[in-house]
Structure 1
């Protein structure tokens, strides 16, 4: 065998040896790795559980970001609270305004009713005054004679509810005074006693004063005052002047 062949074989052996060594190393590494694998699945999760249980470490930028987020949340909460307060205050103000408006309206309605009532009362008073004025304007004017005196006396007697008729008055007036309002009796017992009978129906002063009708003159010689007083006396004593046919 030559030296060159020996050298070539030596080189091949060396290469084969190297491959063998590499293979052995690989197998050894695989065996080591296999020996490190746990026998059950729980052993596999322990590092994960340990990692999960371990405290999280935040960087400076992460800490600032979290703080900023917290501040932002606080600010948002404050804004929401302020917005809610503002809305509540606005609602209360609206309610107060509405209540004040309703109260003002009710007050205005009451004042309007009061004014309307006052106006109606004033108008009624004016109408009453006008009616009275028209009635006064329509007041009849009686003639200044026996017929006029009797008719005016009858009007007053009717108002005062004193009974009597035109015929009864006229009949007694003619008998007592012949229709002379200034007639006076100076010879009978009344005259002797100092209280002579006077006027159309010849009444004495005490009788005239007691039965005088309000609204007429306080004068025995006044025709209307004399007739109404005498008729009032006759109504009290005889029921009506119509029932008198002689001295009374």
Structure 2
């Protein structure tokens, strides 16, 4: 054999090898798809199976099938690595999805927990406010002054009520008029003046008649002309309306 013929054959062999290397991926994919198709599959479905096989993540037995295709150790190793990479990618995607779902569930649980804690705190604050209000009312009741059952006590209690009702008057003005009208006797009654003649005698500490007492009666006091505090407040209310204040009264009114 001549050197030129050997050289020509070497060139042809090298060209064939290059074509083989260029098409190794296509041949390998086709061989892989062929090895995974069931024995009873029809010839018409083989091309479809080959095209669909590329993105599949293979099992261990399918990986062994790759090694039995006879494609060569390097090609088989590359295919096995591709399968392992696809499986790893799929596992990572599942893990990421699971972590996302877990984070979402945790966020929902935390939101519910915060809402429940807020509701509980609001209820607790409301109960505490109610308790403080009750305690305040109780302390106010405990601090309610106790007035002496005498002229000084009656005047002071009447002044406290007058202050709340915005009825003007001072201790001096009340005491001065009481002493002139009844000398401090809450049961005093006038049976001789024109009012008595008309059937409506003046009564009590500040000697008010029944119609005047009824009209100027201060709510919260007894509806009784002889009651010292009720008599004083009604008379002071009447004097404020007619004279500006009980302090401005210095004679019969």
TM-score interval, normalised by the smaller of the two chains: 0.5 to 0.7
Note the residue ranges of structure 2 that are not aligned, 5 or more in a row: 118-123
Structure 2 CA distance for partners of 1:216 and 1:23, relative to 1, 3 Å: closer
Q: Which has the larger radius of gyration?
A: 1
Structure 2 CA distance for partners of 1:124 and 1:186, relative to 1, 3 Å: same
Alignment check: 8 A CA contact 1:38 1:44 kept: no
SS at match of 2:98: helix
In angstroms, what is the RMSD of aligned CA positions? 21.2
Q: CA offsets per residue over residues 1-44 of structure 1, 9 Å max, x none?
A: 99999999999999999999999999999999999999999999
Quote how far apart the aligned CAs of 1:180 are.
Answer: 0.4
Quote how far apart the aligned CAs of 1:132 are.
Answer: 1.5
Structure 2 CA distance for partners of 1:213 and 1:84, relative to 1, 3 Å: farther
Quote how far apart the aligned CAs of 1:105 are.
Answer: 11
Structure 2 CA distance for partners of 1:68 and 1:153, relative to 1, 3 Å: same
Structure 2 CA distance for partners of 1:230 and 1:103, relative to 1, 3 Å: farther
Note the residue ranges of structure 1 that are not aligned, 5 or more in a row: none
Quick one: distance in 1 between partners of 2:20 and 2:85? 87
Q: State the TM-score, normalizing by the size of structure 2.
A: 0.54
154-163 vs 48-57, greater mean Cα deviation: 48-57
Alignment check: 8 A CA contact 1:238 1:244 kept: yes
Q: CA offsets per residue over residues 180-212 of structure 1, 9 Å max, x none?
A: 000011111111111111000011111111111
Count of aligned pairs = 247
Structure 2 CA distance for partners of 1:58 and 1:164, relative to 1, 3 Å: closer
Tell me the residue number matched to 1:153.
Answer: 158
SS at match of 1:27: helix
Quick one: distance in 1 between partners of 2:25 and 2:89? 85
Alignment check: 8 A CA contact 1:181 1:221 kept: yes
23-32 vs 132-141, greater mean Cα deviation: 23-32
Structure 2 CA distance for partners of 1:196 and 1:142, relative to 1, 3 Å: same
